[in-house]
């Protein structure tokens, strides 16, 4: 046998042996994960589902191409169609958020945050941020992007009664400390932030206000939460896969001065980005178009479901935060679960019952409790996206009550959770397959 024949035989052996079985293992894991969520109640506040048309973009040739820079100013050839796509995404974003600037290149919400940090600050600068225990995101922590940039931090005071930044305390801190940038935004975002009061103080010190809207971006797009750009923020950053039901990508939206926006864009590229994942950008474009059509209704229903779930859990004996203000005005509710064993125990118990949510720090937790905090965080974007309403929120609250307080058999509850989920297996608030098919047929003709 020749050397080339032996090499070919070896290649065939590898292709049909351990390499192939390992590759197929990933397919098996994906199928098992599909089944897990098909049979579970998804209540993670930072997750959602894309529409079929948006998902199709992920499988397109966009996913294999490079496009560093901005449309018309690329470092690669072959970007003529990419430029058209990106420009369309920008225009849709401007229309949806009533903004004069949009940068859809960040590949995640944290990367969008890093781009703003790199664009507007230098190592050693002071930045005002929310506290982690008050719902602040890890990118604003010393061990996150803020720390990696070498920034000093001052925390904005938090009001546990309103579950948001204390406006008078924040204004005092800003005027006293004169930070280079003021960051507002939370990962546990129950109620609108007092942006007007914060922005007035920031204007006095010349500090631009940056709003991290990762969690509430879809509610802002649907005009149901607050309007940061009209309330004093110069730039909004966000993830595009939470209340905005798109791909795992990021975005920056602004009404900033030309100089400020140029600095932010330079922070994005070449600051923290090279290529910017064109398939997810195309999926984001589809999502923005769908939000213009369905976003207001979707945001309304998300908030309605959150409030219904919070009220029902409260009636069943849970300590739901934000009671005086109606528990929530967003997609999220926060529950103090100390009396039931703490966030870690409860989240793991519910996972065994087919109810997926996460443990979460509460305002009086210290940083040492991050892995075993006092609370849980519950979100309604995904269950709303598949068509559940207030009556289903009551069913979910009952399942949580039976699992956590009555301590019923997890296997029994898991079966009931799966039965509930089976009734809801279609993505709503988006263009249907038939509509998309008819549109493309018209385009072909």
**Inside any domain, residue 41:** no
| Domain extent for 101 | 52-291
Are residues 299 and 217 both part of a single domain? no
pLDDT of 275-284, one tens digit each?
999 999 999 9
pLDDT of 408-429, one tens digit each?
999 999 999 999 999 998 999 9
Residue 148 pLDDT > 90, yes or no? no
**Inside any domain, residue 284:** yes
**Where residue 249 sits, what CATH number does that domain have?**
3.40.640.10
Question: Considering only CA atoms, which of 351, 341, 347 is closest in space to residue 359?
Answer: 347
Collect all residues with Cβ–Cβ distance below 8 Å to 106 and sequence separation of at least 6.
112, 115, 237, 249, 250, 251, 252, 268, 272, 273, 276
pLDDT score at 160 = 87
Are residues 156 and 243 both part of a single domain? yes
Single out the residue in 236, 256, 291 at which a domain terminates.
Answer: 291
Are residues 226 and 304 both part of a single domain? no
| pLDDT class of 132 with cuts at 50, 70, 90 | confident
**Inside any domain, residue 274:** yes
Range of lowest pLDDT (25-34, 105-114, 348-357, 433-442): 433-442
Residue 436 pLDDT > 70, yes or no? no
pLDDT of 347-370, one tens digit each?
999 999 999 999 998 888 876 677
What is the full DSSP assignment across 22-39? HHHHHHHHHHHHHHHHHS
- Cα separation, 159 vs 371, whole angstroms: 23
pTM of the prediction?
0.92
Range of lowest pLDDT (248-262, 271-285, 407-421, 428-442): 428-442
Are residues 193 and 322 both part of a single domain? no
Give SS3 for 154.
strand
Single out the residue in 275, 291, 307 at which a domain terminates.
Answer: 291
pLDDT of 167-195, one tens digit each?
999 999 999 999 999 999 988 999 999 99
- What are the two backbone dihedrals, phi and then psi, of residue 334, each rounded to the nearest 5 degrees? -120, 135
Are residues 212 and 162 both part of a single domain? yes
Are residues 78 and 100 both part of a single domain? yes
Give SS3 for 429.
coil
Are residues 128 and 256 both part of a single domain? yes
Q: What is the mean pLDDT of the chain?
A: 92
Token pair in block for residue 162: 């309103």
Residue 329 pLDDT > 80, yes or no? yes
**Where residue 408 sits, what CATH number does that domain have?**
3.90.1150.10
Collect all residues with Cβ–Cβ distance below 8 Å to 380 and sequence separation of at least 6.
43, 302, 305, 306, 309, 331, 332, 393
Residue 444 pLDDT > 80, yes or no? no
**Inside any domain, residue 417:** yes
pLDDT score at 146 = 86
**Inside any domain, residue 200:** yes
**Inside any domain, residue 219:** yes
Token pair in block for residue 33: 């994960």
Are residues 63 and 182 both part of a single domain? yes
Token pair in block for residue 250: 């990021």
| Angle at 74 (CA atoms; ends 68, 75), nearest 5 degrees | 75
Are residues 331 and 389 both part of a single domain? yes
H-state helical runs in 226-337: 258-266, 278-315
Are residues 265 and 316 both part of a single domain? no
């Amino acid at each position: 046998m020749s050397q080339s024949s032996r090499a070919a035989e070896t290649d065939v052996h590898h292709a049909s042996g351990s390499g192939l079985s390992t590759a197929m293992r990933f397919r098996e894991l994906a199928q098992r994960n599909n089944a897990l969520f098909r049979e579970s109640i998804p209540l993670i506040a930072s997750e959602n589902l894309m529409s079929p048309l948006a998902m199709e973009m992920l499988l397109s040739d966009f996913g294999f191409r490079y496009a560093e820079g901005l449309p018309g100013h690329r470092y690669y050839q072959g970007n003529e169609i990419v430029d058209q796509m990106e420009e369309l995404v920008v225009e849709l974003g401007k229309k949806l958020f009533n903004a004069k600037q949009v940068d859809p290149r960040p590949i995640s919400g944290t990367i969008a945050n890093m781009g703003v940090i790199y664009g507007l600050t230098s190592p050693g600068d002071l930045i005002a941020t929310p506290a982690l225990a008050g719902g602040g995101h890890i990118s604003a922590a010393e061990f996150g992007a803020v720390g990696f940039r070498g920034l000093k931090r001052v925390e904005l005071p938090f009001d546990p009664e309103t579950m948001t930044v204390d406006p008078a305390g924040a204004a005092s801190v800003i005027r006293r400390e004169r930070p280079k940038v003021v960051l507002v935004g939370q990962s546990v975002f129950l109620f609108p932030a007092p942006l007007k009061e914060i922005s007035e103080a920031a204007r006095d010190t010349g500090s631009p206000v940056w709003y991290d809207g990762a969690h509430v971006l879809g509610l802002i797009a649907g005009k149901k939460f607050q309007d940061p750009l009209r309330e004093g923020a110069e730039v909004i950053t966000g993830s595009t896969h939470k209340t905005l039901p798109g791909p795992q990508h990021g975005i920056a939206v602004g009404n900033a001065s030309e100089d400020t926006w140029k600095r932010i864009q330079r922070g994005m590229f070449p600051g923290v980005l090279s290529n910017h994942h064109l398939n997810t950008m195309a999926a984001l474009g589809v999502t923005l178009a769908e939000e213009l059509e369905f976003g207001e209704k979707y945001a309304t229903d998300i908030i309605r479901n959150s409030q219904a779930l919070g009220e029902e859990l409260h009636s069943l004996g849970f300590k739901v935060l934000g009671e005086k203000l109606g528990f929530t005005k967003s997609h999220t509710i926060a529950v103090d679960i100390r009396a039931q064993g703490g966030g870690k125990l409860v989240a793991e118990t519910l996972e065994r019952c087919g109810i997926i949510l996460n443990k979460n720090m509460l305002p009086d937790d210290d940083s040492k409790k991050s892995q075993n905090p006092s609370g849980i965080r519950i979100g309604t974007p995904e269950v709303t996206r598949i068509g559940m309403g207030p009556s289903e929120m009551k069913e979910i609250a009952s399942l949580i009550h039976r699992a956590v307080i009555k301590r019923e058999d997890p296997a029994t509850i898991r079966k009931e959770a799966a039965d509930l989920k089976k009734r809801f297996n279609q993505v709503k608030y988006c263009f249907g397959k038939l509509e998309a098919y008819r549109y493309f047929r018209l385009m072909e003709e």
